[in-house]
Amino acid sequence: MKIFLGTEHHLHHPPFEILDGRRVAYFETPQRISIILNALVTAGFPSPIAVPPATLADLQTVHTADYLAYLAHAYERWQAAGLTAPVLPSAWPLPGLRLRSDCPQAAAGRYTFDLSAPIMEGTFAAACSAAGAALAGADALLQGERFAYALCRPPGHHAAANMAGGYCFLNNAALAADRLARSHTGGDTTWALRAPTVAVLDIDYHHGNGTQSIFYARNDVLTVSLHADPAYEYPYYLGYVDERGTGAGEGYNLNIPLPHGIDDAGYLATLDQALQAIADYGPRYLVVSAGFDTFHADPLGHFALTTAAYRSIGMAIARLHLPTLIVQEGGYAIDALGANVVALLTGVETYATP
């Protein structure tokens, strides 16, 4: 399995976040990546391939030009206004309010939906580096690889076309899925070949609200998310069962909210439903948003999965027999994160190896 690494992730290391009204150390740390890398090397996986960052042209397939300009310049504008880094909003232009100011504080509220996506000097470079890893993973599938793992940080699945939040700035999995969905194979330009379809399976503990919103009106990318019920868990406002897509995309978004405390057996049984929906759709490619905050000891999660579950999840995913890109999302139980990633990737390869 080829492993792609965004090498600039360490430039993003916010000092704190505001979690349920409390100021705490930022959970989404650079250490997460070094821990995963160490575990992969120890387990005998090949060395990661360092990839170039995504370009603005790459990012504009999914993100709006004004949002990308904001991300690229938010920090320098914040500093120029004499404000103390990092960039973090204090107010939001919620419905009924008017966005008429062009000061950096107003922009921060316009483009950030919560308090967990602070922008530092190197944040945009780090995010472009993660997006580059996901896109390199998509390219590997297009070149015939059966599996690839994109070691992305910061994560991406909460990022919408024009909004940062939930530790996410650029939607790495959506960029990869979009590239796969726009690819034409066969090389025959005389025929208008139908572009391939793609499924995104999101197994992070939190609902992938950004990915859902990006593909909500499209039927060429099926989005399926298993996550903590938003009735009690972040992101609260999206991730319910009745969100099924809109327009041409109606019926192409599937949300499976899960209760507190779900264990390996309960989770794996539900995963089978998600995989059956993907099999019924019959996509050409699969992108997995792989979060490990479903682990029983995760400080942000309330599920009860063990390390063994990730191996079973990997095997179940490989049973779809699809070219599959696994994109790193969340996972904050750092003592177990390396073992859990290794378990998932090993599961994938165990089933796939003849």
List of residues 6+ apart from 144 with CB closer than 8 A: none
Q: Which is nearer to ligand SP5, 137 or 249 (CB)?
A: 137
Residues 260-299 touching ligand SP5, rule: CB under 6 A, are 291, 293
| Stretch (H or E) spanning 213 | helix 209-215
CB atoms within 10 A of CB 237: 10
Q: Which of 131, 135, 288, 300 binds ligand SP5 (CB under 6 A)?
A: 300
Q: Which two tokens stand for residue 306?
A: 């063990």
Tell me 272's DSSP state. H
Q: Which of 20, 102, 188, 335 binds ligand SP5 (CB under 6 A)?
A: 20
Q: Which two tokens stand for residue 217?
A: 């009106």
**19 near ligand SP5 (CB under 6 A):** yes
Q: Which stretch binds Zn ion (CB under 5 A): 11-19, 127-135, 249-257, 326-334?
A: 326-334
Q: Are 220 and 199 in contact (CB under 8 A)?
A: no
- Residue 116: name its binding partner from Zn ion, ligand SP5, none (Cβ under 5 to 8 Å by kind): ligand SP5
Q: Which two tokens stand for residue 30?
A: 């650079």
Tell me 194's DSSP state. P
Distance of CA 233 to the CA centre of its chain: 17
**107 near ligand SP5 (CB under 6 A):** no
> Which residue among 12, 63, 157, 158 is the active-site one?
158
List of residues 6+ apart from 242 with CB closer than 8 A: none
Is residue 158 part of the annotated active site? The answer reads yes
Residue among 184, 198, 353 nearest 289 (CA): 198
Q: Which stretch binds ligand SP5 (CB under 6 A): 8-16, 46-54, 165-173, 185-193?
A: 165-173
Q: Which of 75, 167, 169, 215 binds ligand SP5 (CB under 6 A)?
A: 167
Residues that bind Zn ion (CB under 5 A): 204-206, 291, 293, 330
Residues that bind ligand SP5 (CB under 6 A): 19-20, 116, 155, 158, 166-168, 204, 206, 234, 291, 293, 300, 329-330
